Amino acid sequence: MNDTQRPLIQLSEVTKVFLTDEVETHALGGVHLEVGEGEYVSISGPSGCGKSTLLSILGLLDTPTGGRYELNGTPVESLSAADRAHVRNREIGFIFQAFNLIGDLSVFENVELPLTYRDGIGKAERKQRVVEALERVGMAHRLRHYPAQLSGGQQQRVAVARALVGKPSILLADEPTGNLDSRNGEAVMALLDELHRGGATICMVTHDPRYAEFAERKIHLFDGRVVDEETLNRLRAEEEQRIEEQIASRKPAAADSAP
């Protein structure tokens, strides 16, 4: 984030602990993160590093165990469920790996959905905004189709339109290409890039380094902490070394004397 950008997301010392049968799992261990307005950030890291937990907290689907979270200058870490739903609806657009379109609703109705949870928007305005959003992702011609009638790439475009329709402050994308082939994956990444260039703030979780390159800033998570690239590489190397040693120690001694 550069100095001119207004901070949209500010996390300080955010922790998340899960309690399961008296076992404590520290998913996030004091995360500091700032995302500026208009910034495109990727979050990557190995499986179980806390990417999804971090994204859930950023998206107000979950609450942190400790620390502070300010969204658009407002502290949101201890909002009620109803207030969090309100903020989610207005400030955040979600793009999921599995698209998560509702099968019983048409493309139009799927995109319209966030607006139906918002008071004071008339039918005409809703329609206009849905069509605009679909035009932005190139899916306006499939208004009446149902998700099952679309390809994976098309479904994800519709999902992006749904994320955009409420004009949120930030788009949170969770492995947006995870369920797509490379051609469709690249098309979706190009779409996000285009949105970013148009001023959208995007925070994307991905495990694919190729797609992480699309972001202007890359954040790495390791064991629930944000680390820089150098530290990440070092930690990875240490872990690989440890695993190799464990494997070597398990090899039978007789193998050395084999003919």
Partner 1 sequence: MHILHDFKFAKRQIAKRPGFAAAVILTLALGIGANSAIFSMINGLMLKPLPYPEGEQLVAVYNTYPKMGLPNAGVSVPDYIDRRDRTEVFQSTAMYTWNGMNLTGEGNPERLLALRTTPSLFEVLRIKPMLGRTLGEEHAEIGNDRAVVLSHGLWQAAFGAREGIVGEDIRLNGEPYEVVGVMPAGFVFPNQNVQLWMPFAFTPQQMSDEERGREFSNMIARLKPGASTEQAQQQVDRIHEINRERAPAGVAEFWANSGFGGRVVNYREELIGELRGPLWLLQVAVAFVLLIACANVANLMLARVTARRRELSVRKAMGAASRRIVAQILCESGLLALLGGFAGLLVAWYGLELLTLAGLGSTNELFDIRLDGTVFAFALGIAMTTGVLFGVVPALAAVRGNTAEVLKEGGRSASSGRGAQLTRSTLVVAQVAIAAMLLVGSGLLIRSFMELQGTDAGFNPEGVLTAGLSLPDNPYDDPAAMRDFHDRLVARLEAIPGVVAAGMTNVAPFEGGNSQSSYSIEGYEPGPGENSPHGMVRRADSGYFEAMEIPVLSGRAFTPEDGPDNPVAVIDEILARRYFPDENPIGRRIGFDDEENPEWFTVVGVVGTVKHSGLDEQVSKETYYLPIRNAAVGSPTLVLRTAMPPAGLIDPLREAVREIDPQLPLTRIRTMEEMIDVSLQTRRAPMLLLMVFAGVALALSAIGIYGVLAYSVSQRTGELGVRMALGARIGDILQLVMRQGGRLVAIGLALGLVAALALTGMISSQLYGVSRFDPFVLIGVVVFLGLIAALACLIPAWRAACVNPIEALRYE
Calculated CA dihedral for residues 9, 58, 30, 221, nearest 10 degrees = -100
Report the site for partner 1 in 94-113 (rule: CB under 8 A). 94, 96, 98, 100, 102-103, 113
| 147: contact with partner 1 by CB under 8 A | no
Calpha distance 28→169 (Å, rounded)? 24
| 114: contact with partner 1 by CB under 8 A | yes
Shortest CB 166 distance to partner 1, Å: 7
Is 66 in contact with 228 (CB distance < 8 Å)?
no
Shortest CB 30 distance to partner 1, Å: 21
Residue type, 206: T
Give the interface segment with partner 1, choosing from 70-78, 86-94, 193-201, 218-226 (CB under 8 A). 86-94
Helix boundaries (H) for the chain:
51-58, 81-91, 107-116, 123-136, 152-165, 182-197, 209-212, 229-250
Is 53 in contact with 62 (CB distance < 8 Å)?
yes
Q: What is the DSSP letter of 148?
A: G
| 157: contact with partner 1 by CB under 8 A | no
Shortest CB 259 distance to partner 1, Å: 46
How many residues line the site for partner 1 (CB under 8 A)?
23
Binding pattern for the stretch 158-187 against partner 1, x by CB under 8 A and - elsewhere: ----x---x---------------------
| 206: contact with partner 1 by CB under 8 A | no
Q: What is the DSSP letter of 121?
A: -
Calpha distance 189→183 (Å, rounded)? 10
**What residues are paired with 43 via a beta bridge?**
205, 219
Bridge-based pairing of strands 217-222 and 201-205 is: unpaired
Identity of the residue, 45 or 147, whose beta carbon is nearer to partner 1 in the bound complex: 147
Identity of the residue, 118 or 210, whose beta carbon is nearer to partner 1 in the bound complex: 118
Q: 3-class SS at 147?
A: helix
Structure tokens at 68: 């502070």
Shortest CB 12 distance to partner 1, Å: 22
Shortest CB 249 distance to partner 1, Å: 36
Is 92 in contact with 77 (CB distance < 8 Å)?
no
**What residues are paired with 92 via a beta bridge?**
170
Among 117, 194, 229, 241, binds partner 1 (CB under 8 A): 117
Identity of the residue, 45 or 114, whose beta carbon is nearer to partner 1 in the bound complex: 114
Binding pattern for the stretch 209-238 against partner 1, x by CB under 8 A and - elsewhere: ------------------------------
Contact footprint for partner 1 (CB under 8 A): 56, 59, 61-62, 81-82, 85-86, 88-90, 94, 96, 98, 100, 102-103, 113-114, 117-118, 162, 166
